Chain A
Amino acid sequence: MNYIPEGLRRLWHRMGSPRWFYETTGSWVPWLGVAAALLIGVGTVWGLAYAPPDYLQGNSFRIIYIHVPAAYLAQAGYMLMAVCGVVLLVWRMKLADMVMATVAPIGAAFTFLALVTGAIWGKPTWGTYWIWDARITSVLILLFLYLGIMGLRRAIERPEAAGRACAILAIVGVINIPIIQYSVDWWMTLHQPATFTITEAPAMPASMWIPLLLNVLGFNLLFALSVIQGTRTEVLVRERRTRWVTELCRQER
């Protein structure tokens, strides 16, 4: 294991301490908040007001500035939960469980946002709010997977057992996600009504994709901020019997 750089190894050991995480990320939160607000603000205003209208879809394409980051984060969130699950089961890192517990509702919210913005986009583009095509159906199933993990965590009372159960479910789920996506995609190619095609954005001019990039970065930071804040809360809740937490609460008062 001596090919792993010393700094990384030290970081890994430090992450075994929820307290270290709490104290280190304390100073990050305001910076993340400012950066996320800035990027999302600039990206959204530029995208909604200043980017040129699409030659096919007119102004309705502008929802991609929210839809694309949401859909991407929905998928990435589940991957993150699976990684946390592996870390929890293999290395028994408590922090991994706390992150996984936080990511589940946030990822589910982004999935829901992706579905809703997709439906809003669908109405002017395809004439209908909902259509059973490959991507929408896959995202819907992803939402069910998220809800399953949230339900399982809530149903098991002891946090340690709940964490390990959710870890197993997340790993089984993440292996199944590509299988589900490929099979749904294949099913839809057999049954796709020939009346419409998914409008893929062709090469976008810089005035269109730069705000998209800004929004993607901004939403990533927003996701990171939410996860960090949620994990900090989870740390305080789970470590509430330790001295450093009681000291902290006494000082805050």
Chain B
Amino acid sequence: MTSSPVTEPSLWVLFRGQLRRDLLLAFGQPSELANPLAFFVVVITLFPLGVSPEPDVLASMAPGVLWIAALLATLLGLEALFRRDRDDGTLEQMVLQAQPLYLPVVARMLAHWMVTGLPLTLLAPLLGGMLNLRPEAQLPLMIGLALGTPVLVLLGGVGAALTVGLRTGGMLLALLVLPLFVPVLILGVSAAELASSGLDPSGPLLWLAAGASFAITTVPFAIAGALRIGVEVG
């Protein structure tokens, strides 16, 4: 009996397929896409109302406010990261694939970042202007967000994978993930504040870049492990 060679898709095809699928699904529901962005804008609007609309006060807290709002908006978007796939069984199929789970995870995280983190980064200068952020701090803020939001998405992905099967995922996810966000917050705000004072922001930005490269290479393993557990739960 002749056996035909089993052809498995190559790793690149797997990665590309997962990425395409996730982007198509995300753009298929544009209202869901807009939610974290709308949240970002609304939260930022609350600060002049709740604290003070004076330009000097706003300028002094602009980096922090922008970063905290970005953190919270990312957190909001993490909720739905794996939930839909878990509900219709696709998550189990993903976990059962013969190829390493690392690749679909990286593709999923990339798609999620492109849909949440990247728009946040692009929207930030506009909102920074509204908060009277110094012009020289705009670029470091954007670079910081561009480097930091992948880390946020990855670390949040671990939390989302661990809580994917749970009914009470939301608040627990925030408790799990916000302490891990603290270094990114500190580095990002420092970069913007240093630039506001006319100093060189490259130190914190380089640290953010180091963190991003470390996170992209190692955290997907943790997410893959957590997904295997999360699939069994519930």
Interface residues of A (CB under 8 A from B): 89, 141, 144-145, 147-148, 151-152, 155-158, 161, 164-165, 168-169, 171-173, 176, 179-180, 182-184, 186-187, 190
Contact = CB atoms under 8 A, between A and B. Distances in A.
Contact of A164 (B165, B175, B229): B229
5 contacts: A152-B163, A152-B176, A157-B234, A168-B162, A179-B211
B186 interface: yes
B225 interface: yes
B29 interface: no
B192 interface: no
Contacts of A165: 162, 226, 229-230, 233
Given A172-B222, A184-B186, A152 B162 contact: yes
B222 A171 contact: yes
Nearest to B174: A148
B96 interface: no
Interface stretch (B39-47, B72-80, B177-185): B177-185
Given A155-B168, A155-B172, A183 B182 contact: yes
Given A156-B165, A180-B183, 12 more contacts: A148-B179, A151-B175, A155-B163, A155-B166, A158-B232, A161-B229, A165-B226, A165-B230, A173-B180, A176-B180, A180-B182, A183-B182
Contacts of B180: 172-173, 176, 180
B178 A144 contact: yes
Q: How many B residues are at the interface, by size bracket?
A: 20 to 34
Contacts of A171: 222
Interface centre among A168, A173, A176 (most CB of B within 10 A): A168
A176 B179 CA distance: 9
B179 A156 contact: no
A168 B233 contact: no
Contact of A180 (B158, B179, B226): B179
* Secondary structure type dominating chain A contacts: helix
A169 B176 contact: yes
A20 B189 CA distance: 53
Given A144-B179, A186-B186, A187-B186, A158 B233 contact: yes
Given A161-B232, A161-B233, A180-B182, A168 B222 contact: yes
A168 B186 contact: no
B190 interface: yes
B103 interface: no
A124 B186 CA distance: 30
B187 interface: yes
Interface centre among B166, B175, B211, B230 (most CB of A within 10 A): B175
B30 to A, nearest CB: 32
A179 B183 contact: yes
Contact of B233 (A156, A182, A183): A156
Interface centre among A89, A145, A187 (most CB of B within 10 A): A187
A172 B165 CA distance: 20
A147 B182 contact: no
Nearest to A156: B233
A183 B186 contact: yes
